[in-house]
C-alpha cells in the first residue's frame, strides 16, 4: 500500500481492542547507549513505554496505560510514561523525549528511507489484527542523560507506526526485529505465532531489506533464535531469500548486547538490542519478543 502524510495522525476507534502507536528505537555503539520509546492511544486513553540501556545494563524503564488525555488529534497530546513525541514533517522528521528520572533522552529522528508498509491483506496482518503498519530507517541525533551526565548521540534508528485491534486469543507471540548496518542498508522483520502453531517455523513472517533508502519486500525471510533458560533471546541468524532472481540468500548473525524483561499486564516483553554482522559490516538493532505471560520487571 502507499503511505501518505494522512497516515501519520493518531486515530481511535470504539473497539476496546483497537490501538494506534508509534515506536522509536535507536542504538549508538560508540557511546554504548540504546533505547526505545513507544506512545499509543486507545479508547481508554494513552499508553507509553520506554527503556534506556547503557552498555549491557538497563538504566531506566517506564510503562503506563489508560492515561487521561486532552485530545487525540495530534501525537503531542498523547504523552505517557514520561514519553512525548511530535511529528515535525510527516514521513520525514519527528522528535521524541523521555524522562525516567535515572535516565532521559531528547532526540530527533530524520527519515533516511521511504516507508516499508505491511500489506493489510497479508496472513500476518490479518492474524495479528493489524490494519496498517509501516517502518522507516532514521538518522538519530540528540542527547541521552544518565544521572547527571549527558552524552550526545549520532546514530541510526527506526520509527514505526502501527494500528489495529490485536486479538491475543489468536496469537501467542510476536517479534519485532531490526538490523541497522548503515544508512544505506538495514533489515526489518515482523513475525506472529498463531495460537494453533506449535513451533517457531510455523510463525508468519514479513520482512524488508532497505538498500539506498528503498525497502524491498523479502520473499522468504527465515529467522532462527537461541534462547537462555528463561526464554530470553541471546543469538539470532537471518537467512533472507529476497526474490526468485537471487541465486543465494543474504545472511546476518546477531548476539545480544543488552536487554530486560517487562511484564505488561497479561503480556511479557523481552526487549533487547543486538550486535549484527552482515556481509562484512557490523551494526546494531532491536529484537523484541512479546508473548502472553505474567510476572514483574527483571534484569537480564
pLDDT tens column, 228-271: 999 999 999 999 999 888 889 999 999 999 999 999 989 999 99
pLDDT at 300 over 60: no
> How many percent of the chain have pLDDT more than 70?
98
pLDDT at 293 over 90: no
Rounded to two decimals, the pTM is 0.94
Note the Cα 273 to chain centre separation in Å. Answer: 11
Q: What integer pLDDT is reported at residue 247 of this predicted model?
A: 85
CA nearest to 27, candidates 187, 144, 134, 146:
144
Is 3 contained in some domain? Answer: no
Is 2 contained in some domain? Answer: no
Give yes or no for a contact between 286 and 25, defined as CB atoms under 8 angstroms apart: yes
CA nearest to 173, candidates 192, 148, 201, 197:
192
Distance CA 279, CA 296 (A): 39
Is 130 contained in some domain? Answer: yes
Is 138 contained in some domain? Answer: yes
**Domain total in the chain:** 1
Q: What integer pLDDT is reported at residue 119 of this predicted model?
A: 87
Is 146 contained in some domain? Answer: yes
Q: What integer pLDDT is reported at residue 267 of this predicted model?
A: 94
Average pLDDT taken over every residue of the chain: 94
Is 255 contained in some domain? Answer: yes
Domain housing 182 = 11-299
pLDDT at 66 over 60: yes
Amino acid at each position: 500500500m502507499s503511505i501518505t502524510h494522512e497516515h501519520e495522525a493518531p486515530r481511535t476507534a470504539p473497539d476496546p481492542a483497537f490501538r494506534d502507536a508509534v515506536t522509536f528505537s535507536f542504538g549508538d555503539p560508540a557511546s554504548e547507549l540504546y533505547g526505545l520509546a513507544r506512545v499509543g492511544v486507545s479508547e481508554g486513553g494513552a499508553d507509553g513505554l520506554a527503556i534506556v540501556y547503557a552498555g549491557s545494563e538497563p538504566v531506566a524503564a517506564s510503562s503506563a496505560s489508560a492515561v487521561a488525555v486532552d485530545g487525540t488529534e495530534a501525537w503531542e497530546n498523547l504523552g505517557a510514561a514520561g514519553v512525548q513525541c511530535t511529528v515535525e514533517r510527516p514521513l520525514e522528521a519527528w522528535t521524541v523525549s523521555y524522562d525516567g528520572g535515572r535516565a532521559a533522552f531528547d532526540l530527533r529522528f530524520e527519515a533516511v528511507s521511504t516507508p516499508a508498509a505491511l500489506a493489510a491483506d497479508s496472513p500476518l496482518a490479518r492474524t495479528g489484527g493489524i490494519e496498517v503498519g509501516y517502518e522507516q530507517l532514521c538518522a538519530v541525533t540528540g542527547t541521552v542523560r544518565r544521572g547527571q551526565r549527558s552524552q550526545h548521540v549520532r546514530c541510526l534508528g527506526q520509527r514505526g507506526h502501527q494500528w489495529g485491534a490485536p486479538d491475543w486469543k489468536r496469537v501467542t507471540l510476536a517479534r519485532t526485529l531490526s538490523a541497522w548496518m548503515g544508512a544505506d542498508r538495514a533489515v526489518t522483520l515482523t513475525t506472529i505465532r498463531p495460537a494453533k502453531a506449535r513451533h517457531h517455523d510455523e510463525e508468519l513472517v514479513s520482512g524488508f531489506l532497505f538498500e539506498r533508502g528503498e525497502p524491498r519486500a523479502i520473499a522468504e525471510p527465515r529467522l532462527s533464535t537461541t534462547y537462555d533458560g528463561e526464554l530470553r533471546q541471546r543469538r539470532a541468524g537471518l537467512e533472507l531469500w529476497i526474490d526468485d532472481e537471487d541465486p543465494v540468500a543474504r545472511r546476518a548473525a546477531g548476539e545480544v548486547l543488552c536487554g530486560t524483561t517487562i511484564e505488561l499486564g497479561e503480556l511479557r516483553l523481552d526487549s533487547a538490542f543486538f550486535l549484527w554482522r552482515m556481509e562484512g559490516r557490523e551494526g546494531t538493532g532491536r529484537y523484541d519478543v512479546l508473548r502472553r505471560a505474567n510476572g514483574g520487571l527483571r534484569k537480564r
